[in-house]
């Protein structure tokens, strides 16, 4: 999914139990990475709501930064989500609240599997641990 260069701002978010790792690409090139605690508070009940608010805050911060650089309105184009704590309905929640195209990142989804290895390959959830190493190798 990331093989095609996309102009504009793209975000990758790795979801943890209490931490959000964000990576931003600008015109297909790495720009920055951040680690943030997922916001909590008495008025925000569900994990999905706290996660959505954390992502919206980080995206708004980056859009504002790039608007200062480009002197043009910048809107996030795509969001790629991966990690351990992603509920199935979260991508839809993200798309509905942010007007972005959101994908669950699975770095092994396009790899052809030999029938001998069917049971040896990790599940979709387990495959997210390979996002960073595969990205480094593909960039070489």
Q: Domains plus CATH for the chain?
A: 9-105 (3.30.420.40)
Separation between Cα atoms, residue 100 and residue 93, nearest integer Å = 10
- Full pLDDT tens readout for the chain, 140 residues: 444 566 789 999 998 888 899 999 888 888 889 998 876 666 656 888 888 988 999 999 999 998 998 898 888 888 999 887 788 789 999 999 998 889 888 766 666 766 776 666 666 656 655 565 555 555 54
Task: Pinpoint the alpha helices (H) of the chain.
Answer: 47-70, 90-98, 124-127, 131-139
Whole-structure pTM value: 0.77
Separation between Cα atoms, residue 60 and residue 1, nearest integer Å = 24
The Cβ-side half-sphere exposure at 40, using a 13 Å CA radius, reads 5
């Amino acid at each position: 999914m990331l093989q095609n260069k996309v102009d504009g701002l793209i975000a990758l978010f790795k979801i943890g139990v209490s931490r959000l790792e964000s990576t931003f690409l600008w015109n297909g090139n790495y720009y920055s990475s951040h680690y943030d605690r997922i916001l909590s508070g008495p008025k925000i009940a569900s994990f999905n709501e706290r996660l959505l608010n954390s992502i919206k805050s980080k995206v708004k911060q980056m859009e504002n930064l790039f608007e200062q650089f480009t002197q043009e309105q910048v809107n996030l184009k795509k969001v790629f989500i991966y990690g351990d704590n992603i509920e199935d309905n979260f991508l839809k929640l993200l798309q509905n609240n942010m007007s972005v195209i959101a994908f669950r990142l699975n770095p092994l989804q396009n790899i052809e599997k030999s029938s001998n290895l069917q049971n040896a390959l990790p599940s979709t959830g387990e495959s997210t641990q390979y996002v960073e190493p595969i990205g480094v190798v593909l960039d070489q």
